[in-house]
Each structure stands twice: as C-alpha cells, then as structure tokens.
Amino acid sequence: MVVIHKNDSNLWPPQTRNQVLEYQKWATPLAKKLLEVLLKGLNVNEIDESLEPLLMGTMAININYYPPCPNPSIAIGFRRHCDMSCITLLLQDDTGGLYVQGTKGDNWIHVNPIKGALAVNIGNSLQIMSNDRYKSIEHCVAVDSSRARISVPLFVNPSPDSVIGPFPQILKDGEKSMYKHVLFSDYWDHYFSKRPSGKASLDFAKI
C-alpha cells in the first residue's frame, strides 16, 4: 500500500508514478464537481479558495491487492470501517468483494463492479461537516477463493491543518451541533492509532 499526497509523489515507484499522477490529475476536477453538488445540498454554493483546503486539501491514493484466499469464510480482505475522507472515489476491477452497510445498519450489500464506473463513498469528514445530513458509509471487503482483486481508492481529505466541524450555514437557525471542531491531523492520528471499528470512528468528534 502506498499513499500519495501533495508533496510526496516521489515515494511512488517509477513503474506506477506517472499513471497514478495522471489518474489523480484526471480525478481532481471530478472530485470537486461531486463535492460541489453535495455542498449545494448544504447551502454552500461554491468551493472557493478558502474552502478547498478544508474539502480537498489532501488527496491520497492507495492501491489495494487482495490475493486469492483458500478459505474466505474465515478471512477478511479489509475489516469494516468508514473512511476519514470527505468523499472517496473507488475504482475496482471486476472481481467484486466490496460490501457496504445498509441504512438500517443490519445488512451488507454487495457493490457489483460495473466496468468504467467509480463507486463514491461519503467519509466521516463530510458527515461531521454536514452535521449528519450526509452519512459516512461503513464498508468492508471479502476475499475470493480463486481470484485476486485490485482496488484503487482515491481519498479526498481535508488538509492536516484544517479544523473540521459542522458548517456554520447549517447551524445558523439554531440546529444543535452534533460535533465539536477538531484538527484534522489530530483526528487522523487518533483514527490510525486506535483503528476504531465502523461508525465508532466518529466518536472522537462527537459532542
């Protein structure tokens, strides 16, 4: 697994660096457009220079490889979790194996791979900023007994020095804030040190 953000593109092995950077370049305006559509629903009409670091200040791309597993019933490819991002654009091959939690929280739904399509997940940061109007999606990955799988998530994250909390536009009419304002890098450190399962990863910011 390799992580890329603004200034560390040199960490990518030369064999994949150009393709990864090209993909990131292609996906950035798409991510912005998707965020703009989502933010319109929160009465935020434009992602201007002041909002850009908050919503998409850090882009990270992972390449996940899941080898075939002889006994999938006792193994997991990726444990249940919510991403820390605002949104995640997920490219997957045709093996399948990604499951998302249904809205009632009691059933797993398989995300069938569709050629040429990206799955778009809401992450914890957008749930916090939207004061729960948008819900981060809990997901996990099962392994296959005979086929390998590759997925390429692009995480659209706040910059580490962003302070995230519900947008003032949402709270202006007296709506109760569900979250405190937290420094994204503190939240990130907590998430990766404790690895909280599923939706419990929102507790750090909950009031």
Give the shortest CB-4-to-ligand AKG separation in angstroms.
13
Which residue number, 78 or 108, has a Cβ lying nearer to ligand AKG?
A: 78
Give the shortest CB-167-to-Fe ion separation in angstroms.
24
Alpha-carbon distance of 189 to 117, in angstroms, equals 32
Q: Which does 98 bind (CB under 5 to 8 A by kind): ligand AKG, Fe ion, none?
A: ligand AKG
Alpha-carbon distance of 172 to 156, in angstroms, equals 27
Three-class SS state of 41? coil
Which residue number, 83 or 162, has a Cβ lying nearer to Fe ion?
A: 83
Give me the amino acid identity at 106: D
Q: List the x/- string, 125-164, binding to Fe ion by CB under 5 A.
A: ----------------------------------------
Give me the amino acid identity at 128: I
Q: Which does 199 bind (CB under 5 to 8 A by kind): ligand AKG, Fe ion, none?
A: none
Q: Which does 90 bind (CB under 5 to 8 A by kind): Fe ion, ligand AKG, none?
A: ligand AKG
Count of residues in contact with Fe ion, rule CB under 5 A = 1
Residue 64's beta-bridge partner residues?
151
Binding of Fe ion by 83 (CB under 5 A): yes
Other beta carbons within 10 Å of 89:
21
**Residues within the interface to ligand AKG (CB under 6 A):** 62, 64, 78, 83, 90, 92, 98, 139, 141, 151, 153
Binding segment for Fe ion (CB under 5 A), chosen from 19-27, 48-56, 83-91, 169-177, is: 83-91
Alpha-carbon distance of 17 to 27, in angstroms, equals 15
Of the candidates 143, 101, 105, the residue with the CA atom closest to the CA atom of residue 122:
101
Of the candidates 121, 127, 130, the residue with the CA atom closest to the CA atom of residue 154:
121
143-165 as b/e: b if 16+ CB within 10 A: bbeeeebebbbbbbbbbbebebb
Which residue number, 93 or 132, has a Cβ lying nearer to ligand AKG?
A: 93
Which residue number, 24 or 64, has a Cβ lying nearer to ligand AKG?
A: 64
Give the shortest CB-83-to-Fe ion separation in angstroms.
4
Task: Return the residue nearest ligand AKG (CB atom).
Answer: 151
- Polymer length of the chain: 207
- Nearest-Å Rg of the Cα atoms of the chain is 17
Give the residues lining the site for Fe ion (CB under 5 A). 83
